[in-house]
Structure 1
Amino acid sequence: MSRENSAMAAAHRDRAEALASRGLYRRAITELTAAAMYADVSQIGSIVVRRNEISRRVRCVQRASGDPRMDYDNCVGGGLAE
């Protein structure tokens, strides 16, 4: 069962990366959340880090687009310069 869960986590992570590469960041976050549910100890850290990176990017895009709900502090260290 652990191997199946690990494979499922890897499949969700790969799908998330494919979505992120196409600019579908919110869907990628959803896939990474699903990956975290199936991840084992060796996978969870990298999945959470990647989800946080994509979440920060989404917040920074909202900030750069003028979304008034976003504060500059949310984007410090984010992807504004990219």
Structure 2
Amino acid sequence: MTPRKREQLDWVSLLESILADTPSLPEAACIGRHDLFDEGQGESKDEARHRQAVAEKLCAGCPEAWRCPERTDQPTAMTEAQAS
């Protein structure tokens, strides 16, 4: 096996292990809305709060929220740091 082929297999294995426990959420309200969940470059605190509020509303009405490991009502290190 060539080094290039071995490298490709390692990437495949890595992706498989990352995605193995990721649920399929085909009806998730956030599909295509990564902009609400990713910090914008140079956004102000007010812009960030607004973005997060919109994301929380989206999550609150999502039919897949009960299975989602990333839903906004779960505190994260980032949201806890912002609260202080």
TM-score (norm 1): 0.40
Q: Answer with 1 or 2: which has the greater Rg.
A: 2
Structure in which a larger fraction of residues adopt helix: 1
TM-score (norm 2): 0.40
Higher relative contact order (CA 8 A, sep 6+): 2
